[in-house]
């Protein structure tokens, strides 16, 4: 949705520039100029206002831009240096380092191969197992992700500051293992109370099981925790607050 909005805004701006540059026939330009002017004058303010009010609407686009920026920012010689080390030294931790860079760039397929090779060389590497599970999760291979994240959970449940809990629960939820997902969500929220994303997804799971009172309580927790969090947390989690408020309004 966000990509469609951005593409539409860019196309409108390009058509406006063409109409003003004289490249379009004058009758066509005269016909489309009022429409384009009104559309552009409304589109840009609405676009920037929505970016401020509901950054979650553009979350997928923001992730794509973040991956693109990391590809630009990461120096090519750093990747080439790790590739040379892998070729000459064949160390698992070099594969893990290179896989982390590629995962941050959104290149999950190649990153997954590197994490698999790192696990072949060092079967005890918890980080490689966890990152491979994240790669499978990003590629929507939720069953494989759940298996790997369960192995991480068995050794270190709080790995990655609780994100391992969240991804494990989401993976089980998306494979239809609702009972296990609910147990992991509940455990996570005991150690990380009022976590906005975890509370929101757990509320949806409770709604699916018919536990509407628990779902309402969790959605209210999302609203309360985001409203009373520090400013940078509110900015990052505002979309969860809006989603929770919309859910509560529809089931008032």
Confidence at residue 146, expressed as pLDDT on a 0 to 100 scale: 97
**176 pLDDT more than 90:** yes
Confidence at residue 238, expressed as pLDDT on a 0 to 100 scale: 87
Identify the CA nearest to 128 among candidates 90, 162, 94, 104.
94
126-144: per-residue pLDDT in tens?
Answer: 999 999 999 999 999 999 9
Confidence at residue 32, expressed as pLDDT on a 0 to 100 scale: 60
CA 227 to CA 244: how far, in whole Å?
12
Confidence at residue 80, expressed as pLDDT on a 0 to 100 scale: 87
- Range 210-229 average pLDDT: 95
Q: What is the pTM of this model?
A: 0.75
pLDDT greater at residue 69 or residue 238: 238
Residue 247 pLDDT grade (very low, low, confident, very high; cuts 50, 70, 90): very high
50-56 contacts at long range (C-beta below 8 A, 24 or more positions apart):
53/238, 53/242, 54/238, 54/239, 54/242, 55/235, 55/236, 55/238, 55/239, 56/238, 56/239, 56/240, 56/242, 56/243
- Average pLDDT over the chain, rounded to an integer: 84
15-65: per-residue pLDDT in tens?
Answer: 656 665 665 566 655 666 676 666 666 666 766 666 665 555 566 666 666
Backbone angles phi, psi at 238, to 5 degrees: -60, -35
**162 pLDDT more than 60:** yes
Domains and CATH numbers, the chain: 65-139 (1.25.40.10)
CA 9 to CA 221: how far, in whole Å?
36
CA 207 to CA 173: how far, in whole Å?
13
Of the ranges 51-60, 100-109, 186-195, which is most confident? 186-195
């Amino acid at each position: 949705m966000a990509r469609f909005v951005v593409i539409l805004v860019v196309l409108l701006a390009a058509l406006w520039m063409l109409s003003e540059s004289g490249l379009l026939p004058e009758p066509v330009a005269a016909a489309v100029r009022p429409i384009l002017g009104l559309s552009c004058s409304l589109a840009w303010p609405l676009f920037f206002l929505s970016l401020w009010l509901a950054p979650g609407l553009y979350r997928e686009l923001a992730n794509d831009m973040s991956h693109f920026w990391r590809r630009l920012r990461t120096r090519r010689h750093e990747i080439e240096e790790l590739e040379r080390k892998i070729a000459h030294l064949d160390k698992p931790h070099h594969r893990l380092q290179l896989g982390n860079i590629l995962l941050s760039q959104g290149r999950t397929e190649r990153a997954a191969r590197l994490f698999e090779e790192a696990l072949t060389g060092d079967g005890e590497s918890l980080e490689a197992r966890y990152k491979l599970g994240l790669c499978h999760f990003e590629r929507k291979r939720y069953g494989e992700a759940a298996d790997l994240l369960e192995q991480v959970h068995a050794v270190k449940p709080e790995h990655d500051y609780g994100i391992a809990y969240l991804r494990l629960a989401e993976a089980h939820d998306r494979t239809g293992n609702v009972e296990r997902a609910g147990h992991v969500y509940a455990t996570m929220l005991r150690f990380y109370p009022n976590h906005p994303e975890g509370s929101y997804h757990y509320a949806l799971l409770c709604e699916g099981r018919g536990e509407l009172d628990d779902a309402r309580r969790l959605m209210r927790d999302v609203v309360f925790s985001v409203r009373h969090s520090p400013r940078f947390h509110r900015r990052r989690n505002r979309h969860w607050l809006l989603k929770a408020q919309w859910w509560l309004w529809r089931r008032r």
